[in-house]
């Protein structure tokens, strides 16, 4: 899923974001790494992306508005968070969640699951 894909990565922890960016690039993808909700919203609305990895809590704000845009566009995305999936609003119950710390294999499996998830 990652090779040849452009993936939006919303992550406010610099080290985690940079590691994820390196892993995506190493797997043959393009990572659009951002650490602000507003920037992620701009990219989610107007960029040619193939999917997204969203941290849930970004500088004290939830990334659900970005997830809503991705849902409307029909783009696959996952949550990658230290909070697990217990706190997601009901509309995101089918969105795969990867708990930190995670590996690239965890991310790839979750993205594949996101692509296959029922609407």
Q: What DSSP letter does each residue of the chain carry, written as one string?
A: --TT-EEEEE-SSHHHHHHHHHHHHHTT-EEEEE--HHHHHHHHHHS--SEEEE-SEETTEESHHHHHHHHHHT--EEEEESS-STTS-GGGTTS-EEESS--HHHHHHHHHHHHH---
- The answer to whether the predicted template modeling score (pTM) of the entire model surpasses 0.75 is yes
For residue 116, pLDDT over 90 is answered with: no
Q: Is the dihedral of CA 95, 101, 104, 105 positive or negative?
A: negative
Q: How many residues does the chain have?
A: 119
Task: Kindly state the tokens that stand for 99.
Answer: 């708990």
Higher pLDDT, 82 or 34: 34
What is the model's pLDDT at position 30? 96
What is the model's pLDDT at position 115? 82
Task: Kindly state the tokens that stand for 70.
Answer: 């991705």
- For the stretch 52-89, pLDDT in tens is 999 999 999 999 999 999 999 999 999 998 776 567 89
| Mean of all residue pLDDT scores within the chain | 90
What CATH class has 6-116? Answer: alpha beta
Rg of the chain over CA atoms, in angstroms?
A: 13
């Amino acid at each position: 899923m990652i090779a040849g894909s452009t993936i939006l990565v919303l992550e406010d922890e610099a080290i985690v974001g940079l590691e994820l960016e390196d892993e995506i690039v190493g797997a043959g993808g393009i990572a659009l790494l951002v650490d602000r909700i507003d920037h992620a919203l701009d990219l989610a609305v107007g960029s040619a992306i193939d999917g997204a990895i969203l941290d849930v809590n970004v500088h004290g704000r939830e990334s659900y508005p970005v997830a809503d845009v991705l849902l409307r566009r029909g783009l696959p995305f996952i949550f990658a968070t230290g909070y697990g999936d217990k706190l997601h609003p009901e509309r995101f119950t089918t969105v795969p969640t990867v708990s930190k710390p995670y590996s690239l294999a965890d991310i790839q499996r979750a993205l594949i699951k996101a692509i296959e998830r029922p609407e």
